[in-house]
Structure 1
Amino acid sequence: MLSLAEFTGRWSLSREIADRLGGSGRFDGAAVFSPSPDGLLYEEEGSLTLARGGAFAAQRSYDWRDEGGTVAVHFADGAFFHRFALSERPEAAHFCAPDQYDVAYDFSAWPDWTSRWTVRGPRKDYEMTSRYRRAD
């Protein structure tokens, strides 16, 4: 089983956003996991290109906290986001009224791995697949 420490380092990151409502796009950049007091700080930055045209600089960060076999992911402001186990079927859900966010992580090709988010709500209907590959 993976441990949180194994994510430490730099990763190349590509993300496809398939929006059934027409806002598809692609993100290309890098993600870095660095040690923090509670686990790892996740920071990504790159370029988001929308299918309708236009490219934008994009960045985000999260805290990945080690909870003894599970990972608790928190937003940069400290608010809880979701929790998943570093196991065979790591999945999680997050409800942010009125939208539902469901994620499935896949570590079966480690050190390459993916996360696939399915997001549904009154004005949202998309899948976002992120592919990570060790860069260092």
Structure 2
Amino acid sequence: MRDFEGVWSLRKYITQEGAPDGEFRGSAVWRTHDDGMRYAESGYLKLGDAAPISARRSCFWRDDLSVYFEDGRFFHKVPPDGGSTEHWCDPDLYHVTYDFDHWPRFRIRWRVSGARKNYRIECIYDDRRQVSKTGGPLTPMQRFTVKPTDDAG
């Protein structure tokens, strides 16, 4: 699990039934904490034609790859070699697939369906931070005008 430790660039592509598609660009950080790692992501979320908004999320990963919400409730367990798992949150089912085939780049694909939710999210993690042409961090608007050059993998 220590292979996750550090800062990763993170892109999320959101497809929603009956709502605007979205895109998140930012970073994800895994830091050692107690018997696992604290995960925190932050960046900017753009839904449809709306202006980007600041977005944050965090959780806790235990050494056995069990993932817990910030409030301590169990979420799911990551398959060590990649693969699928699920989380039931009545009345919706969260199906997730971890793809580590191109490590240190990896993907997480979510399919959420049920009475209240119907969307997909593809998360792409890269072991290097996105930087602008000047070498500094991207501004919120640059995050949505710079397109990835290689989405294969």
User: What's the C-alpha RMSD, in Å, of the aligned pairs?
Assistant: 1.2
Give the TM-score normalised by structure 2: 0.80
Give the Cα separation in 1 of the matches to 2:35 and 2:73: 14
Q: Does structure 1 residue 132 correspond to structure 2 residue 125?
A: yes
Which residue is 2:74 aligned to?
80
Please give the residue correspondences for 1:1-136 in structure 2 after superposition, counting only pairs within 5 Å. 4-67=1-64, 71-87=65-81, 89-135=82-128
The structure with the larger Rg is 2
- Runs (4+) off by over 4 Å: none
Give the Cα separation in 2 of the matches to 1:46 and 1:13: 9
Q: Which has the higher strand share?
A: 1
Number of equivalenced pairs: 129
Tell me, which stretches of 5 or more residues in structure 1 are unaligned? none
Q: Over residues 61-103 of structure 1, what are the superposed CA-to-partner deviations in whole Å (9 max), with x where a residue is unaligned? A: 0101112xxx10001111100012211x422101111111000
Could you tell me whether the CA contact under 8 Å between 1:17 and 1:128 is conserved in 2? yes
Which residue is 2:150 aligned to?
none
Tell me, which stretches of 5 or more residues in structure 2 are unaligned? 130-153
Give the TM-score normalised by structure 1: 0.90
Shift of 1:52: 4.2
Instruction: Name the SS of the counterpart of 2:78 in structure 1.
Output: strand
Could you tell me whether the CA contact under 8 Å between 1:21 and 1:124 is conserved in 2? no
User: Does the C-alpha gap of structure 1 residues 23 and 121 become closer, same or farther in structure 2, counting only changes over 3 Å?
Assistant: farther
Give the Cα separation in 1 of the matches to 2:120 and 2:49: 17
